[in-house]
Structure 1
């Protein structure tokens, strides 16, 4: 009876010095390209708007004439209603009031580098050191819309804001009422965010 001999695999060949040099050069070239791309994005598109905010609705405000859509979140539309304790309530107006309360009359600063189809700057906004985008989701007056999924889970578990009852997600409400859908962050957004985070760009 023939015994099966263990299969022998050829030893892995070591990379030659030239191959290692090529790999290192390729890595350096890739990092340099990303740095160049980040610098181009920063110079050509990044904007910071600052001033006293006029709050339009739960996720849109105006700073010195510049309309800013809080990026990565979606608040109920101003005329939207939600359901709680067997009745309807004006959750859209309450979402706007929540943003007004979070700002508290302080100066608002928004950083952004993209615009949506309505020419609004898509921004990450702060009132002093308070992250408004994140805080609205944590308070339950906006849902995650490309970012802040962990904050949405916390709000849902705490039954905060609109999570205390039933509601249509804002994009579903817009669709049901013939409104245009808000654009979600696209692949370029995530690539740009990753590059900015990698190189410490705001």
Structure 2
């Protein structure tokens, strides 16, 4: 009887364990649910990563913007004098500083106009070429500054060494327009003269530079790209390149690597008008 009782007790205990096992939920999640959880976790991780990237990019953009704003709000320097390199028809560079002529607007580097016979010609590049020759006739250039523009460039009134106003000359030659928005009509008389004589852009049909920029935003060069390579057009054909080792080396047109050398003014590279100028600035000639 004792054995039978133990046997029945053992069976009862097994039944309890089986029943308890049926009642207890499984510790393993169903595969569909597990897949959804893993997918959600992956999506969350990707979102966190993307947020971190965007946050970093945003911080970098903010830092760049703050740097630019700081540059804009710096006190204006006093009058500056030096040899000017032409960037385009209304912008030059003196000692590494971009200077935008005050109160005028010249055709953009890529802008074309119609001449007296209706033929298309590159009026923007013609203006830059003429400006380069005009400056070369009486150096150095002297500028006094009135403002900074939206790109941080200095805005100034500039004269040649002989005292002639650059802005007045450009407008009276029809190479630039009086820009009433900023000039208050300071060069209106020169513009009337140019128009009456059909000089420059007034010989045919053209778009005002500010209108052309609005209609051709994709063709307008950024300030950092503006006429990088105009040096060759204006006669300043020597390329001042900075090597990977930080050496300042200049290349003249007949040298082996001249055509392969690219100039990035943003990186501190520049154009020179003569070897003497390059050497005076601390650059050495390329060996070949």
The TM-score bracket by the shorter chain reads 0.5 to 0.7
Equivalent residue for 1:53, pick from 84, 94, 107 = 84
For structure 1, the 5+ residue unaligned runs are 1-43, 181-202
1:138 is the counterpart of 2:172: yes
Question: C-alpha distance in 1, partners of 2:146/2:158?
Answer: 13
Is contact 1:47–1:113 with CA below 8 Å preserved after alignment?
no
Contact 1:46–1:113 (Cα < 8 Å) also in 2: no
* Coordinate RMSD, CA, aligned: 1.4
Kindly indicate whether residue 154 of structure 2 is the aligned counterpart of residue 121 of structure 1.
yes
Q: Gapped runs of 5+ residues in structure 2?
A: 1-74, 221-288
- Measure the CA separation in 2 of the matches of 1:166 and 1:113: 32
TM superposition shift of 1:102: 1.2
Deviation at 1:118, TM superposition (A): 0.6
**CA displacement, residues 146-195 of structure 1 (integer Å, 9 cap, x when unaligned):** 23111111100011111011100000100000268xxxxxxxxxxxxxxx
TM-superposed CA distance for 1:47, in Å, is 2.3
**Runs of 4+ displaced beyond 6 Å:** none
> TM-score scaled to structure 2, two decimals?
0.46
TM-score for the superposition, normalised by structure 1: 0.65
Q: 135-144 or 106-115: which moved more?
A: 106-115
**Distance in 1 separating the partners of 2:212 and 2:197:** 23
How far residue 96 of structure 1 moved from its aligned partner, in angstroms, is 0.2
The reply on whether 1:156 has 2:199 as its aligned counterpart is no
The answer for the alignment partner of 1:174 in structure 2 is 213
1:82 matched residue in structure 2: 113
**How far apart are 1:46 and its partner, in Å?**
5.5
| 8 Å contact from structure 2 (residues 101, 157) kept in 1 | yes
Equivalent position of 1:73 in the other structure: 104
1:108 correspondence with 2:147: no
Higher fraction of strand: 1
CA distance in structure 1 between the aligned counterparts of 2:198 and 2:119, rounded to whole angstroms: 17
More RCO (CA 8 Å, sep 6+): 1
1:94 maps to: 126
